[in-house]
Amino acid sequence: MTASRQRMLVIGKTASTVQKLKELTREQLEVVSANDVRLPHALADYLVVDGSEPQLMSDLQVCAMGLLSALPDGIVLLDEGLNILWHNTTFRQLLQTADLLVGQPLQDTIRPADGTDLGRIAIPASPGEVASLTVRREDRSSLGLRLARTTINLEGDKKQAMILTVRDVSSHVLEKQKQDAIYRAGLEMGNLTPEEVTAMTHEERVMLLKDQILQFTQEVLGYDTFEIRLRDPETQELLPLLEYGMDPEAAVRALYALESGNGVTGFVAFSKRSYLCSDTQSDPLYLRGATDARSSLTVPLMIRDTVLGTFNVESPGTLSFNQTDLDFLTLFSRVVASSLNQLQLLAAEKVTAETENSDRMRREVSKPSDEILNAATWILERYIGHDPDVCDRLHLITDRVRKITGHVGSMPEKSDAANMLSKTPTQRPPRKALMGKRVLVVDQDSAARDDAHNLLGQMGCEVEAVQNATEGCAMLRNYHYDVVLTDIRLSDANGYECFRRLREINSHVPIIMMTGFGYDASHSIVKARQEGLKAVLYKPFRRAQMLDEVEKAVTTPSPG
């Protein structure tokens, strides 16, 4: 087509029409058949349908042609009193009636269940403005109404009327209601008052949250077969937290957050992606959860980029879940994950408080207990062979003191669920090799003795501390220790002298010497190394350095 000529596109039986139009236009237009061009890319300035005469049709004539009845929305033409002048077939289908509704008031045809007066709708004053309203009907369906003013050609006369579009929005309304219910669930789940937080144990909070998850999963989402597992960040095992309707074997099955070999649940925890299983009998990842399950939906429980666990739902029908189900379960899983995270924070706060209390109690108890043990040992050495009853009483005193100090700072046992919900970075990583090991500290600096009590006590060691070599030797003569830490500056001996005296009492006990940087006037460390000293700590040392040296000492086999 040249730029100077316009195109007329002819659709229909074009064999004779094209030629006739060419003759009428005297070749001033390019008249082409739709059969000769590629639609819909063809450009045209005029469009002719074969068999029709060029004319202006009224709006009612267009309606009569049935074009508007093919639309998915109901179309209604209303007068100023909101009485029906015309409607398409879709409108009757939405109202589930075969009756012709022309002439009836809109209020009587819609029949809102809540008594809404449609006559009080704010009718737009000018074309282009729209009034919207959602109406719930007696059959529990919901209709979305959009009303606008328009000008129509009615038998040649232009008149003002209202055009109403009607759409079934029941599914959208239900989705909104479900969203609101999930939002309310988020406000309620794990929402504890300060009084409840202090009055409830961690185990009670966990049980309350599990009850709430069960209730909302059934009432809001409508699922009766599901399970929630929590990921152990150390082992990657997915431990059961809550299940309902699952097979007993599946409920206790060991699963891990791995890409393969651990079912859909393991894959979801590993990949951090949701998984929709349309047919459990043909899905290679699926492991049976419920006996009659034919489809499943699994989403990760996420806080930021961290997987807390998984939420799995199963159904007896194939293709039971769609994208909407996935969206709602994902939304609900965020609520669950947020509540679980809140419990973790409460558990971490409790652990921190208990640890601080434990440290404080250890500091307060360690000094008097050391004094009692030292005094009892001093007396015990002087009464040996003189009064056996006194010796027995002194041994009883030392045993009871050790038993009391051994309980200071010990943590109560928690259930599996409580342990899973309290594993946080705020907890000190355990040193299992140090648990129950007895450590003797010889240092004239009281702050150093307190630090040793606190640091090693946190790891489960039984720490006893004295001020000088004489007291240290007396303690080693009367009691068993797994390792001895001694400073090289003591009031009654230098480091080497203390080392030699301790070795004479017990040649196998590991000894660690401590000193400030560059201070060893008596060359104690050099002399002691020549006689078998293995470890030295230079003050100020880091926490990990002390723990590493003590752990190495208690795990290295004794010579001979």
- Three-class DSSP labels, 273-313: CCEEECCCCCCCCCCCCCCCCCEEEEEEEEECCEEEEEEEE
Domain end call among 116, 147, 168: 168
Specify if 354 maps to a domain. Answer: no
Q: Are residues 94 and 34 in the same domain?
A: no
Specify if 173 maps to a domain. Answer: no
Domain end call among 110, 137, 168: 168
Query: What's the predicted TM-score (pTM) here?
Result: 0.47
CA angle 139/140/145 to nearest 5° reads 100
Residues 536/525, Cβ–Cβ less than 8 Å: yes
- The average pLDDT across 447-471 equals 89
Q: Are residues 430 and 318 in the same domain?
A: no
More confident residue, 125 or 413: 125
Specify if 512 maps to a domain. Answer: yes
Classify residue 74 as left (phi > 0), alpha (psi -120 to 50) or beta.
Answer: beta
Residue 371 structural domain: 362-555
Specify if 353 maps to a domain. Answer: no
Residues 355/428, Cβ–Cβ less than 8 Å: yes
Rounded-to-integer distance, Cα 461 and Cα 282, Å = 55
Q: How confident is the model at residue 169 (pLDDT cuts 50, 70, 90)?
A: confident
- The average pLDDT across 533-537 equals 87
Q: How confident is the model at residue 58 (pLDDT cuts 50, 70, 90)?
A: very low
Here the CATH number for the domain that contains residue 517 is 3.40.50.2300
DSSP 525-538: HHHHHHTT--EEEE
Specify if 110 maps to a domain. Answer: yes
Cis omega (within 30 of 0) for bond into 40: yes
Residue closest to 523 by CA, chosen among 495, 481, 558: 495
Amino acid symbol at 189: M
Residue closest to 335 by CA, chosen among 129, 179, 536: 179
Q: Are residues 258 and 385 in the same domain?
A: no
Q: Are residues 42 and 81 in the same domain?
A: no
Q: Are residues 333 and 381 in the same domain?
A: no
Q: Are residues 380 and 523 in the same domain?
A: yes
Specify if 531 maps to a domain. Answer: yes
- Report the DSSP pairing between strands 6-11 and 46-49: parallel
Q: Are residues 514 and 384 in the same domain?
A: yes
Q: Give the count of beta carbons closer than 10 Å to the beta carbon of residue 261.
A: 11
Q: Are residues 105 and 43 in the same domain?
A: no
Helix 170-188 to helix 202-216 angle (10° resolution) is: 170
Q: Are residues 249 and 132 in the same domain?
A: no
Domain end call among 168, 189, 208: 168
DSSP 379-411: HHHHHTTT-HHHHHHHHHHHHHHHHHHHHTTPP
Specify if 355 maps to a domain. Answer: no
Q: Are residues 388 and 478 in the same domain?
A: yes
Q: Are residues 440 and 490 in the same domain?
A: yes
Q: How many domains does the chain have?
A: 4
- pLDDT (tens digit per residue) in 398-428: 777 777 676 555 544 444 544 555 454 444 5
Question: What is residue 267's predicted lDDT score, i.e. its pLDDT?
Answer: 96
Instruction: Record the tokens describing residue 240, joined without a space.
Output: 């059961």
Q: Is 393 exposed, middle or buried (0-12, 13-18, 19+ CB in 10 A)?
A: middle
Here the CATH number for the domain that contains residue 285 is 3.30.450.40
- pLDDT (tens digit per residue) in 145-164: 888 887 765 555 667 778 88
Q: Is the pLDDT of residue 330 over 80?
A: yes
Specify if 465 maps to a domain. Answer: yes
- Cα–Cα distance list, 48 to 30, 65, 112, 164, 545 (Å): 13, 17, 45, 31, 93
Q: Are residues 234 and 321 in the same domain?
A: yes
Amino acid symbol at 102: V
Here the CATH number for the domain that contains residue 99 is 3.30.450.20
